[in-house]
Amino acid sequence: METDTRAVIADITETLSVDPRVVPGTGFGAGHGLRVDGRIFVIFMPDVLVLKLPASRVGELIAQTGATPFDAGKGKPMREWVRVSAARRAEWAELAQEALRFVARG
């Protein structure tokens, strides 16, 4: 399963890096992620994809897919951030593109 997750992450990184504004970078702390115009939009964690999306979309993902709120280790969920487990990694690429569109508009 770890190999599958790494392959999905590599595919997402390769696909989204076609946009010259997208660069690899750290997420919150030392996590590997992607940034657009200097702003984090996706963080790759072991068996979890963390995404920045509109608060309403975060709520939908939590209610419909069992995604969980992301709190960056501070004990309080961040309203525009969500954690999506590797069990749903087939959706990660589409969600990462959605996060890129959201943050790039910002």
What is the set of domains in the chain, with CATH numbers?
A: 2-105 (3.90.1150.30)
From 10, 93, 11, 19, select the one nearest 51 (Cα to Cα): 93
- In whole angstroms, give the CA distance from residue 97 to residue 102: 9
Q: How many CB atoms are located within 10 Å of the residue 46 CB?
A: 8
Q: Is the pTM of this model over 0.85?
A: yes
Q: What digits encode the pLDDT tens for the residues 42-94?
A: 999 888 999 999 999 999 999 999 999 999 888 899 999 999 999 999 999 99
